[in-house]
């Protein structure tokens, strides 16, 4: 057998082993996908032109500029433990799909930054879709979410303190 064939055969074996190992490690994720748990997170960009994903740097820049509403899509308990200073808690789950009336009264072209826990959390995408359906047209989903914000060492607020020492209830 030629040297090139041996190398190709070994590469194919290693590739197959890598795919099998990855599949074995990700079995729970694959099962969730098969059950349709991620259906809410997939959408055609053409159907939701006002929604786009952003990275930490852009989320931080928008927050620091103070010209955007930052919405935390996590459950109230998680929000109380810690959130982006000035963020508003609008849980995507368990609210019956309702968006607070005062938020609905905001200008539809206002920039909204939506985040949740990060990782495989889908709450921010679900909330972003609802906001888009309500007519908002500049929705930025911070995919790294709270987890990435904290790891970056950015300011944090709790139900008691807004990150500046002032009282914060998250309900601007």
Domain locations along the chain: 3-34, 39-151
E strands within 12-161?
A: 51-54, 69-72, 88-89, 112-115, 139-142
CB atoms within 10 A of CB 23: 11
Q: How far is CA 125 from the centre of its chain?
A: 6
CA pair distance 19, 4, nearest whole angstrom = 22
CA pair distance 41, 39, nearest whole angstrom = 5
- Superfamily of segment(s) 39-151: Rhodanese-like domain (3.40.250.10)
pLDDT of residue 37: 64
Strand order in the sheet with 112-115: 51-54, 139-142, 112-115, 69-72, 88-89
pLDDT tens per residue across all 172 residues of the chain: 688 888 889 999 998 888 888 777 777 767 766 776 666 556 666 788 999 999 999 999 999 999 899 999 999 999 999 999 999 999 987 655 678 888 888 888 899 999 999 988 889 999 999 999 999 999 999 999 999 999 999 999 998 765 544 444 444 4
pLDDT of residue 128: 93
Using DSSP's 3-state secondary structure scheme, residue 95 falls into coil
pTM exceeding the 0.75 threshold for the entire prediction: no
Determine contact, residues 92/116, Cβ cutoff 8 Å.
yes
């Amino acid at each position: 057998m030629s040297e090139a064939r041996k190398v190709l055969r070994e590469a194919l074996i290693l590739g197959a082993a890598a795919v099998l190992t990855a599949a074995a490690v990700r079995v729970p994720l694959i099962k969730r996908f098969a059950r349709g748990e991620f259906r809410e997170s997939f959408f055609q960009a053409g159907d939701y032109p006002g929604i786009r994903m952003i990275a930490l740097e852009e989320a931080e820049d928008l927050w620091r500029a103070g010209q955007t509403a930052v919405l935390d899509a996590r459950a109230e308990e998680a929000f109380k433990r810690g959130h982006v200073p000035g963020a508003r808690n609008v849980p995507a789950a368990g609210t019956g799909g309702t968006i607070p009336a005062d938020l609905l009264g905001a200008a539809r072209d206002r920039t909204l930054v939506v985040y949740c826990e990060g990782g495989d959390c889908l709450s921010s995408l679900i909330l972003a879709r609802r906001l888009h359906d309500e007519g908002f047209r500049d929705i930025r989903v911070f995919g790294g979410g709270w987890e990435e914000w904290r790891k970056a060492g950015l300011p944090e607020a709790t139900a008691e303190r807004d990150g500046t020492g002032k009282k914060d209830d998250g309900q601007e």
